[in-house]
Amino acid sequence: MDTQKIRSDFPVLSKKWNGKYPIYLDNACMTLKPRQVIAAMDEYYYEYPVCGGRSLHRMAKIVDEKITSSREKFQRFLGAKQHEEIIFTKNTTEGLNLVANSLDLKKGDMVLTTDKEHNSNLIPWQVQAEKKGISHVVVPSAPDNTFDIDKFESLINKNVRLVSMVHTANLDGYTIPAEEIIKIAHDHGALVMLDGAQSAPHKPVDVKALDVDFFALSVHKMLGPTGMGVLYGKHQLLEAMAPFIVGGDTVSDSTYQSAKFLPSPEKFEAGLQNYAGIIGSGIAVDYIENVGRLEIEKHEEKLNTIITNGIKNIPGLKIIGPQEPGSRGGIISFTVEFPKGGDAHDIAIVLDETANIAVRSGAFCVHSWFNNRKCEAAVRASVYLYNTEDEARKFVDALGKTIGLFA
């Protein structure tokens, strides 16, 4: 993988801030955008900035063709059987909420999640428990922060309607044994949904091989535009589900008393869509596939190894999740005990101001995990395809100096 060539495609990496080029290690929050994605979106606004799916003029037909092309790209990207199984959303959060609200859950149904869920796969089930009387049960991790398959098997029963779990955790980069979980769930008659926001951009995902029922992702975490996501669902399940948001573009006809809904995916894509975003999303898929997700995965593990080996012996520093970097993808999250005061946010601020290194500090929208462990905040560095070994070493050096200020 030619990292230097890749970096030349990202305009922001050639812009100096306070005399230094940025070292961007906040990729689990959002990735940077290559010029190819930006150009494709500009092309829409400059050359055919019109509605798709409604009008019959030339420009509208171009938009329709581009939308279909992007949908087919995501079909191939995820290994779906047909492009009708791909629904465009705003983000992973909307995809998860769509299923939570459209699936016919009833009082007494159980939903199982992990103890590392992003708020987007926690709060919807708390709301459904309040509204419909479903039971939401959290599967605790094993002592080494990996998935406890025995505990999962002890909790699943005939009342479990859905297993909805984070595929790769944004907390620590750990990937659950999805194939095994899905088989067990299906054997008990339960459906499975995966939050793939941190997995699909970084490693190969084949929804057909996994036999997963629903899979949600955010395009802004895979080189694409903000405000774009994708929900995959098995066709027969989508056809049986009621739409979540209704109105324009979801129906083929209506009277004052009734409406005839379109099939999936149209019935789930209400109103005028983010056409530029959909087009840019397809180009983001092209970019990632040209590099290769296996290559990305190997590159991230190499960088994670450099960082892990460089920081693991810093006094007071504790890496969250499995200690082997190969089990944490491109994510390195850690807490630091400060004998003289200071916290995770101080580390992030000092790294930014002194070394132009961007990391995340806080609870990463996994407040439940932090509150359960009475931990206020952590620091997270997350790498991607444009990060270099030199940047990884600079981060290690800068982090050591930063922590030294509070020691």
Q: How far apart are CA 147 and CA 141, in angstroms?
A: 5
Radius of gyration over every alpha carbon of the chain, rounded to an integer in angstroms: 22
Active site residues: 365
Q: What is the pLDDT of residues 303-320, one digit of tens each?
A: 999 999 999 999 999 999
pLDDT in tens, 177-214: 999 999 999 999 999 999 999 999 999 999 999 999 99
80-109 tens-digit pLDDT: 999 999 999 999 999 999 999 999 999 999
- φ and ψ at 74, to 5 degrees? -70, -30
Does pTM top 0.95 for this prediction?
yes
pLDDT at 406: 84
Q: How far is CA 74 from CA 127, 188, 189, 285, 381, in A?
A: 30, 30, 28, 7, 28
Say what the pLDDT of residue 295 is: 98
pLDDT tens digits along 128-183: 999 999 999 999 999 999 999 999 999 999 999 999 999 999 999 999 999 999 99
Q: Distance (Å, rounded) from C-alpha 243 to C-alpha 268? A: 5
Across the chain, mean pLDDT equals 96
Any bridge partners for residue 260, and if so which? 253
pLDDT (tens digit, 9 = 90+) per residue, 326-363? 999 999 999 998 776 789 999 999 999 999 999 999 99
pLDDT score for 298: 98
Q: Which two tokens stand for residue 246?
A: 């209704």
The percent of residues in the chain predicted with pLDDT above 70, rounded, is 100
Give, for 293, the enclosing helix (H) or strand (E): helix 293-311
**Stretch 222-242: mean pLDDT:** 97
Residues near 263 by Cβ (< 8 Å), separated by ≥ 6? 84, 239
Predicted confidence band of residue 3 (pLDDT cuts 50, 70, 90): very high
Phi, psi dihedrals of residue 39, rounded to the nearest 5°: -65, -40
Would you state the pLDDT for residue 17?
86
* Structural domains of the chain, ranges and CATH numbers in brackets: 3-26+293-406 (3.90.1150.10), 48-290 (3.40.640.10)
Gap between the terminal Cα atoms of the chain: 39
| Model pLDDT, residue 158 | 96
At 267 the pLDDT is 96
pLDDT tens per residue, range 379-401:
999 999 999 999 999 999 999 99
Tokens of 276: 């530029």
